[in-house]
């Protein structure tokens, strides 16, 4: 996130409502059970259960408004906004949660005069939502000039101009003033929002309505990259054919208020608590259930908070005909994998890749998933198709060659692995992970040791605090017989990654090589306690503890480690 975006986000959050109800609500001793159960459910992110328990606590202590506020807020988080709306009138008119629900309920019923009346009567949630809702409500009753003036007034509030101008642009486009809309969207202040998909899509549609399709195409290429998802590729093809794209980012003032909630959620996602962000997204979805971007945001928040099955269900609601379906399926695969169902995630990515074989994203993600599952031959095949779909070789593609190189190395196909690592370094010559992996592989193969050590030294210079790279440097010095010099690097690697079995095992070998046998045995025991990746590695460490490193090396046909 850019500095300017962080600054704008901070201003918005300072001025937006604090939807999260205070955590100071208390129940009388006799009602402590439901209250504690509600708190536990909320901490476990089971918002539906939290709402029910807070409701019980509130019923037992009806004068405690904070308990009711928590119950209402929990219902919003659970997606039960309809039920929350039904209880809004029980809360104080000064309550921010109640105000937000009144605005949402009135907007859903297209009762824009009610929004204006409630705000005029003193209801308040926060300058951002209140200001945007007022402006959109004025549009809703046909007072376009007054609405435009309301956006301009909001733009004078510190930190809120980006959102006021963005929404002003959407409103002007809604009434057909595309020139005015474009001017508002291009206001310098909107820079924090110009990296969002909603902004890109709105501007492209406005440019198309102004018969400026070439500019819209350029915006698509800049915004969606060289390899857009199939749905967005289809939109670009329509622009290239000279077809005007309809403006549908907002289609009614109700959509505009939904967009206000969405904008607030989007800017707060990395700046405030996940429940507060989720509440804004839920309200946006309540007003515009078909808004795919809101669905994606809800899924992202659920995934971020570890509710992976719910996130996968949210991603799955997006229609196959929607341009966002392809990226949503990528998100669903990630959520399913995070829920521990790797095979199901692989099936999703495999099916997705086959629906658009010329689009590289799913092939590459499939390769990544198969690599993590240690299905290296299958991963190589997926990466092959992904690389073929990439077309012209670009510097940013180094990671795909690196990943395929790892799979080839693990599949014991060193010539192909070396070729992939070499290609990755051609594209990104100083990439420390590639330098380290290739250098370490050469060390283990006992090939071109001077070149291998040079690669690792370059990687260590770039990433001095990487335990894995520091381990490689110490191990390289050990392999080349510089045992005393290796000690400090291996000790540093263990400091950086103290519970890694391989690094502790390596330090044991290095200690042995300089005659520090007791310390070597201690490190080997530590390595065993941290559970090596394979029984073969564990058996080798146990054998070293029984007979010493030199005897193990002799059995393997290698030179002794010069232990004394």
- How far apart are the C-alpha atoms of 200 and 142, rounded to whole Å? 27
Identify whether 458 is part of a domain. no
Inside any domain, residue 548: yes
Residue 514 in any domain: the answer is: yes
Q: Domain for residue 143, yes or no?
A: no
Between CA 352 and CA 358, with CA 353 as vertex, the angle to 5 degrees is 130
List the alpha helices (DSSP H) in 325-431: 325-338, 342-355, 360-372, 376-390, 398-410, 414-427
Q: Pinpoint the alpha helices (H) of 395-547.
A: 398-410, 414-427, 432-445, 449-462, 467-479, 483-496, 501-513, 517-529, 535-547
Helix (H) or strand (E) holding 170: helix 161-174
Q: How many CB atoms lie within 10 A of CB 177?
A: 17
Could you give the angle at which helices 376-390 and 398-410 cross, rounded to 10 degrees? 160
Query: At 1, is the secondary structure helix, strand, or coil?
Result: coil
Q: Which run of H or of E encompasses 83? A: helix 81-86
Q: Using the structure block, give the residue that is written with the tokens 């698509």.
A: 220
Long-range contacts of 53-62 (CB under 8 A, 24+ apart): 56/31, 57/27, 57/31, 60/27, 60/28, 60/30, 60/31, 60/34, 61/27, 61/28, 61/31
Query: What distance in Å separates the CA atoms of residue 281 and residue 132, rounded to the nearest whole number?
Result: 16
d(CA 151, CA 564): 81
Cα distance between residue 438 and residue 459, in whole Å:
11
Confirm whether 181 is domain-assigned: no
pLDDT at 51: 79
Per-residue model confidence as pLDDT tens for the chain (564 residues): 333 223 333 333 334 444 444 344 454 545 567 778 877 777 777 788 887 888 888 888 888 888 888 888 888 888 888 988 888 888 888 888 889 999 999 999 999 999 999 999 998 888 999 999 999 999 999 999 999 999 999 999 988 999 999 999 999 999 999 999 999 999 999 888 888 888 988 999 999 999 999 998 888 777 766 566 666 778 888 888 888 999 999 999 999 999 999 988 887 776 656 788 889 999 999 999 888 888 888 888 888 888 888 889 889 988 888 888 888 999 999 999 999 999 999 999 999 999 989 889 999 999 999 999 999 999 999 999 999 998 888 998 999 999 999 999 999 999 999 999 999 999 999 999 999 999 999 988 889 989 999 999 999 999 999 999 999 999 999 988 899 999 999 999 999 999 999 999 999 999 999 999 999 999 999 999 999 988 999 999 999 999 999 999 998 888 777 644
Query: Cα separation of 324 and 232, whole Å?
Result: 8
CA gap 202, 458 in Å, rounded: 46
Mapping DSSP to helix (H, G, I), strand (E, B) and coil, where does residue 184 land?
helix
Helix (H) or strand (E) holding 261: helix 253-268
Question: Alpha-carbon distance 477 to 491, whole Å?
Answer: 13
In the prediction, which pLDDT does 17 show? 43
For 99-111, letters b (16+ CB in 10 Å) and e give: bbbbbbbbbbeee
CA distance linking residue 317 with residue 295, whole number of Å: 8
Any idea which residue has 């901490």 for tokens? Answer: 43
CA atoms within 13 A on the CB side of 264: 34
On whether the CB atoms of residues 404 and 420 are closer than 8 A, the answer is yes
The residue with tokens 């959407």 is 170
The backbone region for 28, taken as left when phi is positive above 0, alpha when psi lies in -120 to 50, beta otherwise, is beta
- The pLDDT, as a whole number, for residue 365 is 95
Domain count, the chain: 1
The closest of 152, 141, 156 to 180, measured between CA atoms, is 152
Which pLDDT does position 564 carry in this prediction?
46
Tokens of 189: 């202040």
Which domain covers residue 541, as residue numbers?
Answer: 498-564
Q: Residue 17 falls within a domain, yes or no?
A: no
Q: Which pLDDT does position 71 carry in this prediction? A: 85
Q: How far apart are CA 549 and CA 545, in angstroms?
A: 8
Provide the CB-side half-sphere exposure for 30 (13 A, CA): 3
Q: Among 296, 137, 79, which residue's Cα sits nearest to residue 201?
A: 296
136 lies in some domain: no
DSSP letters spanning 202-239: HHHHHHHHTT-HHHHHHHHHHHH-SS--HHHHHHHHHH
- What length does the chain have? 564
Whole-number Å distance between alpha carbons of 39 and 416:
56
3-state secondary structure at position 195: coil
Is 0.95 topped by the overall pTM? no
Please give the Cα distance from 554 to 273 (Å, whole number): 59
> Which among 319, 323, 324, 322 is positioned nearest to 300, based on CA atoms?
324
Long-range CB contacts (within 8 A, 24+) of 446-450: 446/479, 449/476, 449/479, 449/480, 450/480
Residues contacting 161, CB < 8 A, separation 6+: 155, 187, 189
Please count the other Cβ atoms lying within 10 Å of the Cβ belonging to residue 465. Answer: 9
Domain-located, residue 421:
no
65, 98, 251 from 24: Cα distances, Å: 11, 18, 41
């Amino acid at each position: 996130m850019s500095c300017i975006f962080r600054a704008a986000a901070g201003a918005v959050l300072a001025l937006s409502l604090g939807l999260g109800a205070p955590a100071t609500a208390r129940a009388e001793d006799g009602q402590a059970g439901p209250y504690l159960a509600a708190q536990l459910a909320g901490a476990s992110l089971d918002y539906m259960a939290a709402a029910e328990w807070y409701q019980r606590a509130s019923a037992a202590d009806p004068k405690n408004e904070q308990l009711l506020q928590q119950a209402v807020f929990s219902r919003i988080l659970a997606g039960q906004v309809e039920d929350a709306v039904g209880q809004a009138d029980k809360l104080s008119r000064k309550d921010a949660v109640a105000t937000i629900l009144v605005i949402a309920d009135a907007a859903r019923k297209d009762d824009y005069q009610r929004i204006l009346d409630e705000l005029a009567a003193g209801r308040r949630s926060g300058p951002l939502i209140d200001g945007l809702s007022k402006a959109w409500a004025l549009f809703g009753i046909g007072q376009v000039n007054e609405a435009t003036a309301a956006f301009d007034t909001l733009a004078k509030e510190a930190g809120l101009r980006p959102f006021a101008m963005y929404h002003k642009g959407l409103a002007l486009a809604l009434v057909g003033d595309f020139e005015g809309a474009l001017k508002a969207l291009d206001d310098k202040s909107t820079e924090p929002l110009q990296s969002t998909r909603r902004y890109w899509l709105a501007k492209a549609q406005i440019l198309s309505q102004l018969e400026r399709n070439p500019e819209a195409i350029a915006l698509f290429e800049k915004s969606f990259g060289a390899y857009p998802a199939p749905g967005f590729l289809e939109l670009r093809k329509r622009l290239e054919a000279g077809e005007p794209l309809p403006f549908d980012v907002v289609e009614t003032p109700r959509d505009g208020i939904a967009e206000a909630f969405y904008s607030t959620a989007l800017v707060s996602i990395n700046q405030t608590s996940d429940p507060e962000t989720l509440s804004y997204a839920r309200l946006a979805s309540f007003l515009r259930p078909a808004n795919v971007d809101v669905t994606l945001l809800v899924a992202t928040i659920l995934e971020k908070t570890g509710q992976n099955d719910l996130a996968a269900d949210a991603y799955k609601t997006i229609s196959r005909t929607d341009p966002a379906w392809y990226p949503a399926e990528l998100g669903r695969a990630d959520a399913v994998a995070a829920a521990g169902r790797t095979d199901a995630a692989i099936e999703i990515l495999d099916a997705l890749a086959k629906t658009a074989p010329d689009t590289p994203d799913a092939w590459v993600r499939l390769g990544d998933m198969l690599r993590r599952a240690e299905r290296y031959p299958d991963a190589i095949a997926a990466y092959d198709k992904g690389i073929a779909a990439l077309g012209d070789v670009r510097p940013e593609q180094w990671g795909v060659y690196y990943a395929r190189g790892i799979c080839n190395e693990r599949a014991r196909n060193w010539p192909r692995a070396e070729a992939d690592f070499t290609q990755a370094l051609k594209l990104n010559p100083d990439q420390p992970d590639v330098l380290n992996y290739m250098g370490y592989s050469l060390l283990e193969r006992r090939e071109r040791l001077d070149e291998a050590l040079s690669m690792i030294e370059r990687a260590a210079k770039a990433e001095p605090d990487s335990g894995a790279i520091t381990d490689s440097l110490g191990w390289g010095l050990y392999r080349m017989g510089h045992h005393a010099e290796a000690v400090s690097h291996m000790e540093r690697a263990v400091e950086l990654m103290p519970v890694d079995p391989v690094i502790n095992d390596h330090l044991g070998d290095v200690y042995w090589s300089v005659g520090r046998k007791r310390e070597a045995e201690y490190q080997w025991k530590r390595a065993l306690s941290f559970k090596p990746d394979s029984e073969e590695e564990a058996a080798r460490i146990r054998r070293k503890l029984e007979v010493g490193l030199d005897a193990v090396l002799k059995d393997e046909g290698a030179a002794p480690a010069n232990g004394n």
